Amino acid sequence: MSYETLDTLGRRMVQKLREAAGASQNAPAYLFWGQTPEELWKVLRDFAQNEALRAGIPPEILFPLRSVITRNGYTVMAILFHRGKLHLTGARVQVMPTAKA
């Protein structure tokens, strides 16, 4: 069993997206997560409805991602909108709350 922080996983996912898309290392990318695929979808839907246009992403291209999230059981998803195309990667991971000392 492997443990990785969400920050580390997210950075790795975003890095791979940028490389695959041929985007610069400072191209805006977004990381979303939830405890369940349904929760992840709610977070992404909220972004689509409230923030996507401001981020330069057409919201209508995000709504079909519900089926991708559900079908793959994703709980973490990174997206990058580059040169008019949406690039994404997802993972099914158990997101555990942080322990406080």
pTM to 2 decimals? 0.86
* Strand 85-91 with 29-33, pairing: unpaired
Q: Write out the residue range of the structural domain in which residue 10 sits.
A: 6-91
- Cross-strand bridge partners of residue 89: 78
Asked whether residue 96 is assigned to any structural domain, the reply reads no
Whether 1 is covered by a domain: the verdict is no
Per the structure, the count of domains in the chain is 1
Residue 87 vs residues 31, 66, 97: alpha-carbon distances, Å: 12, 15, 28
The answer to the question of residue 101 being in a domain is no
Q: Is residue 97 part of a domain?
A: no
Q: Is residue 21 part of a domain?
A: yes
In a domain, 87, yes or no: yes
Tens-level pLDDT at each residue, the chain (101 residues)? 466 788 888 999 999 999 999 999 999 999 999 999 999 999 999 999 999 999 999 999 999 999 999 999 999 999 999 999 999 999 998 866 665 55
CA–CA distance, 48 with 12 (Å, rounded to integer) = 23
